[in-house]
Structure 1
């Protein structure tokens, strides 16, 4: 096994991470949606557990921590590209994919921190088979309740509730391409392109495959959008652990993105 060189002067800890978050501008009592990657934070004593504890220390008892707990593999296999699967598999996958269960189905590709929040005592999770969110704290139920299947990242989604609550967005070691809130701006375009989506769900009759029409999502230009957003002064940046991080009001990011998408797509 190759030897790993540690270059940090000191390990990041729950206390030092909390101090970093305060310097960045995270406010007690706020609603905070976090997109995170652990690796850029460097060596953290306690790993994702320490990060979640630090976030909750800063937010305090009146704050709320929100994370995406998406399950993109519960989707129409005809649309899979990384990797694609043979066409003769599609019917089997649609027939046999387990139905989404908020209490059991793990998030996929959202990172260790999101999965830890999802499984934490007291966490609440929205009931969407592809783009659920989990929340911990005072406003958790308000944020995750009533997550519409169609319009999945629109006004009747946790993103819409976060906008209503004037939440903040923290990009913890990730870029704007991970900023799910920007998708809300796609729903606010006058005539966004549409897509047909499918997933396995649990209902009164048991497990079934369901279809719905929704906005066609595209994060391919979110880094460009985010670079222009950074230039407005609406985004605070600083180090948390070893990672360069960004903090912004979700409303400011979404409002900017509405105009940017209209002008650049």
Structure 2
């Protein structure tokens, strides 16, 4: 059993002790189960984050919808080839107002649904934000820039954002993907269902960088060894806090030395 129940107040106190500040813009990745027992669950965690950030801060989370994608690339699980045309014809179009996120956890999904949340308009790699800078940060998300220069990720870098890994490892660090757009990288074809300007549904295809997080744990370990990462517990969650721009710069230098690039 945990030593104590985690509450909105205890989580906020731990976040402040870690170094999260009022007015920060923060990209958060979080695992609810890592906190221990939380009174109020994901709602309490989001409230705690917003309490610390204050009215001038902004909370951002990935709100990805990876299920809205080319079915021939699906591996978890794969689907029969004869299903592919049906999926392309029938997949509901991405709608930033109602399409749920996929695989980013209860806390991220709670932020997406939070009153006043703003979501970027990308059928596969959207982000959601709550706070004063939400609209500005989510404004541009070009189709062929999932996590690149024309995405909220680059806007976060320009805004001096920080990254918060709450109970998750560097394999979940989306910031490292921005570095993949700044080194030679393979490209691949993507597909997804979108809403047209007239409100109709359409399946589209396009190309973008083929991102890969398989070596992010090793990359993150070397980044942490530079001293740029503050590490502590929030509740029972091992948590890391660092500047997004420093993480990207480290990855840009690390990737050509440790990954076979095109």
1:196 lines up with 2:189 in the alignment? yes
Report how far residue 204 of structure 1 moved: 2.3
CA distance in 2, matches of 1:200, 1:243: 36
The correspondence for 2:224, drawn from 230, 236, 259, is: 230
Residue of structure 1 equivalent to 2:54: 60
1:81 lines up with 2:75 in the alignment? yes
Runs of 4+ in 1 over 4 A off after TM superposition: none
1:104 lines up with 2:137 in the alignment? no
Query: Secondary structure of the residue that 1:151 maps to in structure 2?
Result: coil
Residue of structure 2 equivalent to 1:260: 254
CA distance in 2, matches of 1:94, 1:145: 27
Query: Secondary structure of the residue that 2:46 maps to in structure 1?
Result: helix
For structure 2, list consecutive stretches of 5 or more residues without a partner in the other structure: none
Residue of structure 2 equivalent to 1:4: none
Residue of structure 1 equivalent to 2:42: 48
1:133 lines up with 2:127 in the alignment? yes
TM-score by length of 2: 0.97
Alignment of 1:1-265 (within 5 A): 7-189=1-183, 191-205=184-198, 206-265=200-259
TM-score by length of 1: 0.96
For structure 1, list consecutive stretches of 5 or more residues without a partner in the other structure: 1-6
Report how far residue 218 of structure 1 moved: 0.3
CA distance in 2, matches of 1:87, 1:8: 47
CA RMSD of aligned residues (A): 0.7
Query: Secondary structure of the residue that 1:226 maps to in structure 2?
Result: helix
Figure out how many residues of one structure are paired with residues of the other and give that number: 258
